[in-house]
């Protein structure tokens, strides 16, 4: 199975900050990498698919980059509604493994 490792595990930031989260795959996955945002009591929300494509309706302050084994999610101009946990997920092959999550505290 492909292992996904995110860093950092948690971070604290202020409104208006730019934050970046890194996700590394244990083997190359091309650009088959997705990012999700999860808030307590709510369903996960797809933010970025295939490494850098912005999901419909997601604010442009979210961006993704990378290919192969190393990927980055960047949130510029952090807003209060951006708190929660971010997960990367590889969709190169099943099982579609997730990273362990990065908790963002405002």
Partner 1 sequence: EVHLVESGGGLVQPGRSLRLSCAASGFTFDNYAMHWVRQAPGKGLEWVSGISWKSGNIDYGDSVKGRFIISRDNAKNSLYLQMNGLKIEDTALYFCAKPRTAAPGSLDAWGQGTLVIVSS
Binding residues for partner 1 (CB under 8 A) = 1, 32, 34, 36, 38, 42-46, 49-50, 55, 85, 87, 89-92, 94-101
Q: Within a 10 A sphere around the Cβ of 27, how many other Cβ atoms?
A: 12
Distance CA 45, CA 16 (A): 22
Pick the closer one to partner 1 by CB: 17 or 103: 103
Name the minimum Å distance from CB 18 to partner 1.
24
Residue 59 Cα distances to 4, 29, 34, 71, 98, angstroms = 25, 26, 16, 19, 23
């Amino acid at each position: 199975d492909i292992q996904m490792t995110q860093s950092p595990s948690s971070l604290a930031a202020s409104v208006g900050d730019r934050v970046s989260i890194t996700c590394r795959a244990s083997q190359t996955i091309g650009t088959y990498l997705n990012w999700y945002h999860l808030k307590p009591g709510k369903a996960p929300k797809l933010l970025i698919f295939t490494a850098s494509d912005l999901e419909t309706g997601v604010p442009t302050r979210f961006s993704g980059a990378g290919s192969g084994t190393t990927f980055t999610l960047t949130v510029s101009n952090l807003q209060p509604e951006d708190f929660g946990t971010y997960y990367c997920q590889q969709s190169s092959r099943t099982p579609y493994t997730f990273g362990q999550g990065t908790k963002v505290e405002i």
